[in-house]
Every structure is written in C-alpha cells, then in structure tokens.
C-alpha cells in the first residue's frame, strides 16, 4: 500500500527516503505516518476505506467498503415497501461508492479526461459532453451508472435514488470524519515534535 500517496492529499511532506541526505528535514517517517493512520482508524473505518479507494485505488479496501456499504444499504431499506432484487443492493452500493470516491465526476469517455476532442477534419475542439474532462454527477449520470448493474426504467430508479442519496451522504460524512481525525492527529504530532526540539 502506498500510504504516502494518500497522506500527501493532506499536504504532509513527511517521507525521507534517504536518511543520510542533508536536504529537507522529514516531518514524519513512513512508520510514523502509519502510526497516525492507526491512531485515527477507529474514528471512522468506513471513511478510511473511502480515502483508500479514492486516493490509492486499493482493491482490498474497495471490497471491505462494498461490504460496509451493503450493510448500510440493508439498514436503510428495512422499511422499504415492496420487493427488490439482490442486484438492486449491488447497484446502489456501486453507484454510491463511485460518487463518493469520484466527487468531481467520472472521467469523460469521449475525450478521456482531456476536455479536447479531434473532429473528422483533425480540428481540436472543446468536448461537448463534459466539464474539464469530467462528467459531473447528476440524476441522469447516477441513473446511467446504476443501470449498468440493474437495468430498470427511470421511474423505478427514482425510488432507489432516495436510498442512493442517503448512502452517498453517509459515505461522505464518514470520509470527512476520517479527514478531520487525521488533521487533528497530525497537529498533535507536530506539537509533540516541537516540544522535543
């Protein structure tokens, strides 16, 4: 796992790969960064899984996140009136995780994220189907993602969307708790480091 990639999202410049180098002083070593994660993990395990999937594309974290999200989906659907197939749970989980881990939207399949397309005359033009190379999350894009797993009518999806919105909020709230926890822990570590200097 490349924990430094994830922690770099928090603007931590703490890994010094060459202890003999006279260059900049490392704030936190790799081991210390892992300790910070360990100390903060209990505050929001789901939030950490979201961060691992978002920042590292960690497959094992994705599997655990799918299990946790499925449990929350079942909890949210306890009072669901009517029947739903097993695939509905899978579609809800997949769509919610995709939205929570790709908050800026999905990479545009027409321009591959470049926001520029080449027409038949080899002229470069701005991509018409995305904003800055990303397709933002809307009701239509959520439906398209959901329908890849469970092809249903749009009117049926609208019933599922209420649960989907709550799932995305749950995932993002857990992510925020993890980010706040690591920020607090890093501040504590900085204060301790200053005291020892």
The fraction of the chain above a pLDDT of 90, given in percent, is 46
What confidence tens digit (pLDDT) does each residue in 53-66 have?
A: 888 788 888 999 99
Is residue 97 within 8 Å of residue 65, measured between CB atoms?
A: yes
DSSP 27: S
What confidence tens digit (pLDDT) does each residue in 21-39 have?
A: 444 445 556 566 656 666 6
Q: From 38, 42, 91, 41, select the one nearest 69 (Cα to Cα).
A: 91
For residue 185, give both structure tokens: 């822990």
Question: What pLDDT score was predicted for residue 14?
Answer: 44
pLDDT in tens, the chain (197 residues): 455 555 555 544 443 444 444 444 455 565 666 566 666 677 788 998 898 888 878 888 899 999 999 999 999 999 888 899 999 999 999 999 999 999 989 999 899 989 999 988 999 999 988 888 999 999 999 999 999 999 999 999 999 999 999 999 999 999 999 888 877 877 777 777 677 66
Rg (CA), the chain: 21
45-69 b/e (C-beta count within 10 Å ≥ 16 → b): ebbbbbbbbbbbebeebbebbbebb
Average pLDDT, the chain: 82
Alpha helices per DSSP H over the chain = 3-8, 30-41, 45-56, 59-76, 86-101, 139-149, 154-196
Q: From 76, 68, 91, 82, select the one nearest 171 (Cα to Cα).
A: 68
DSSP 146: H
């Amino acid at each position: 796992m490349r924990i430094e990639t994830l922690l770099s999202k928090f603007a931590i410049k703490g890994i010094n790969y060459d202890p003999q180098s006279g260059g900049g002083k490392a704030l936190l070593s790799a081991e210390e960064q892992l300790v910070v994660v360990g100390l903060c993990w209990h505050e929001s395990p789901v939030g950490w899984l979201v961060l691992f999937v978002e920042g590292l594309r960690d497959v094992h974290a994705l599997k655990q996140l799918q299990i946790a999200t499925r449990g929350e989906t079942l909890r949210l659907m306890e009072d669901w009136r009517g029947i739903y197939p097993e695939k509905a749970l899978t579609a809800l989980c997949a769509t919610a995780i995709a939205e929570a881990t790709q908050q800026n939207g999905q990479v545009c399949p027409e321009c591959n994220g470049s926001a520029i397309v080449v027409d038949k005359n080899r002229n470069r033009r701005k991509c018409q189907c995305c904003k800055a190379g990303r397709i933002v999350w809307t009701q239509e894009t959520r439906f398209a993602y959901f329908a890849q797993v469970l092809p249903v009518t749009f009117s049926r999806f609208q019933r599922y969307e209420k649960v989907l919105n709550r799932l995305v909020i749950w995932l993002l709230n857990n992510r925020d708790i993890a980010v706040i926890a690591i920020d607090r822990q890093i501040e504590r570590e900085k204060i301790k480091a200053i005291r020892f200097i």
